[in-house]
Amino acid sequence: MTIDDLVDNFEFLDNWEDRYRLLIDMGRELPEFPDDERTEDNRVEGCTSNVWLIHGVEPGSPSRLTFRADSDAFIVKGLIAIILAAYSGRTPEEIRNTDIAGLFSRLGLEQHLTPSRRNGFFAMVERIHEIAASEAA
């Protein structure tokens, strides 16, 4: 799913309850996350819920980063699906240049998520940016 697809899907829905259900459905569609990767090293700090994030590197010139993540909270799994759509399969430069705050706003998330969920969302983004910077070096 592309960022434009995400925005179109969210804009198609008239109310937050429908968008909330879409977010949860998106989280349910995440690929399986290996139990042995649910470690402290893979846990994202700054999230109220447990969130685990792993990455891989697809060789090429430039290389692309892939991400897999999971959470023990349904709404957070939906937020993960948004983050993965925005970042997975992108180059470190594309990751740095993605306007995730703008996407967050376009989807209407800033108005309907608690501050702790918002902080958790951006903690995941920060971790991905750190990985991208490390892989670009």
Closest by CA to 128, choosing from 87, 89, 93, 94, is 87
Residue 2 tokens read as 């592309």
C-alpha–C-alpha distance, residues 27 and 83, integer Å: 11
Active-site residue set? 47
DSSP string, 91-130: -HHHHHH--HHHHHHHTT-TTTS-HHHHHHHHHHHHHHHH
Contacts of 8 (CB under 8 A, 6+ apart): none
